[in-house]
Amino acid sequence: PARYFDTKTTEPISFFLSGLEELLSWQPNSDDEFNVSAVPLAKRQPPLLSRRPRTLVCHDMRGGYLEDRFIQGSATRNPYVFYHWRYIDIFVYFSHHTVTIPPVVWTNAAHRNSVPVLGTFITEWTDGEKLCEAFLAGGEEAYGAVAEQLARIAQHYRFDGWLVNIENTLSAAAVGNLPLFLRDLTARVHSAVPGGLVIWYDSVLKNGTLRWQNELNDENRMFFDACDGLFTNYNWKEEQLERTQRLAGPRKNDVYVGVDVFARGDVIGGGFETDKSLRLIRQYGLSAAIFAPGWVYEHLGKENFLQNENRFWGLLAEYLPTHSICTLPLTTSFSLGMGTSMFQDGKDEESGPWYDLSAQDIQPLYPAQQGMLSTSCCLQDAWCGGSSLQLQGTIPPGEERVAVRLFSLQMPAPPKLFLTLLYKLEGPQPDDFTVALEVTTWDSGICLEGNPTSLPEPNGRYHPRFLPAPPPSLAKLLAACHRGSYGWTSRCYELELQDCSLRDVSVIVSRQQPSPQETSFTCLLGEMRVLDTASVAASPPQVHNVMASQLWWQ
């Protein structure tokens, strides 16, 4: 069927639903199993609903369902990717179809990086009025059926809820039932999807007129009260932030103040000045909804996209609280889910462009210090997948090392950790530098390194012990400690800790010899793993009763 499979290639594709009839007649079937997310939402610290401002990204690009609709990837050159997941809390996939089911590749990538994904339920123009009249004015049975279907769809495809956007006027009967519909939808989503969310877009007022308020006020408050949050329109001024903060009270983090990166209309900031809006929003302790950050790709072009993308998010980083990883194993090859080649064990196995966000790895922080350090993605060389992480920086005169913080963690340290790192030093004198890992712990007063000869470390910084070869119990898994092919260097480390809580994992680049000059370095990271020895040594469960379906032999 054309809804589920591309008519040209027969490959499985992601899809949307148009109109009320398609929504109400939706049933799961065997053709849409490709669309079910295969990656559960990874846990994070602090939890999403902690008391701190959040960041929502609303992705709206040229109508949606572009190359990202191909569930098993495509040969797209210079595709759009998003990878600053550590800096955002919620990802919304937006299009103008009635029911936007997020393409499963986005759900997989976001979930791997602890970010929930919302679809969009939208009604607009005169068709929207008719649709709303049909299900809202129709009473409890009619709006209950729509709420039930939306909750079932999120549960079936394993994404995390809905942005609700009613962009048309409503009759008195319809607007009277709207808060009841929102309450019903929110309750059903919460019960069907663990951690599910329903967010309302600032559009219709309590009297049914369509007038964007750019704030939370008495005209739209009843919709905010009926669900998990409000996403405001973009044309706000500072006094509206102040009023919103006052009215929201303890729920101020549930107001996501809209920021249009394209800067349409009378807005503050936009483009590379989006930090101006964020600075104000955060002054009032409110959450932010960054709309169409694909501006970087659409407006500035595909050619320098990765460079421009790092610049865009780097300018916002100080206003974006990050979230930490709280489960092991942590293992990543830094792949973006795209590339100009496919690498395996450092070898370029297959040249040619590819794009598959489901294959995106856990993404690190992307730290940068003006002139001193930049962290970026390198497509020209990789250990596994399509890209490696490139660290470029300078070691200042008189200093010996630079620490690059890649992952923040928040979890109890197991008694023994194994860490592996694959790297490649580039530039004129690669032998002038050494590369190692550093683990920091949260200061607890009782945390000790397990090795009895060691003294407590100041500032909770630990340098794991280098192992020339992996211990026998891990030899099979960590065969990598011997393989350093195609110019890559492989390192294994061990760290024993008692009563500690893990905080950060950093890469340390040091000079071999002290020097009065500043020294520049370029280092590619191909793979990093942080493993709990006990759980790695246990043998994995056997797989039984494998079923394969929907096969196409070529």
What would the mean pLDDT of 297-302 be, rounded to a whole number? 96
Q: What is the pLDDT of residue 398?
A: 85
Q: Residue 231 pLDDT more than 70?
A: yes
Summarised one tens digit per residue, pLDDT across range 302-321 is 999 999 999 999 999 999 99
pLDDT on residue 185? 98
C-alpha 250/C-alpha 177 separation (Å) is 26
Question: CA Rg, the chain, in Å?
Answer: 25
CA distances from 346 to 140, 354, 468 (A): 60, 17, 21
Residue 475 has pLDDT above 80, yes or no: no
351: Cβ–Cβ under 8 A, 6 or more apart, which residues? Answer: 340, 341
Q: What pLDDT shows up at residue 212?
A: 97
Interval 140-155 mean pLDDT: 98
- What is the reported pLDDT for 453? 52
Percent of the chain with pLDDT over 90: 81
**pLDDT for 477 beyond 80:** no
Lowest mean pLDDT among 201-215, 357-371, 423-437: 423-437
What does the block give as tokens for 243? 């009023």
- pLDDT of amino acid 551: 83
Asked if 96 and 124 count as a contact pair (C-beta separation under 8 A), the reply is: yes
Q: Which of 367, 366, 294 is nearest to 334 (CA)?
A: 366
Q: Is pLDDT at 215 greater than 80 in this prediction?
A: yes
List, in order of start, the domains of the chain with CATH numbers. Answer: 16-321 (3.20.20.80), 330-537 (2.60.120.260)
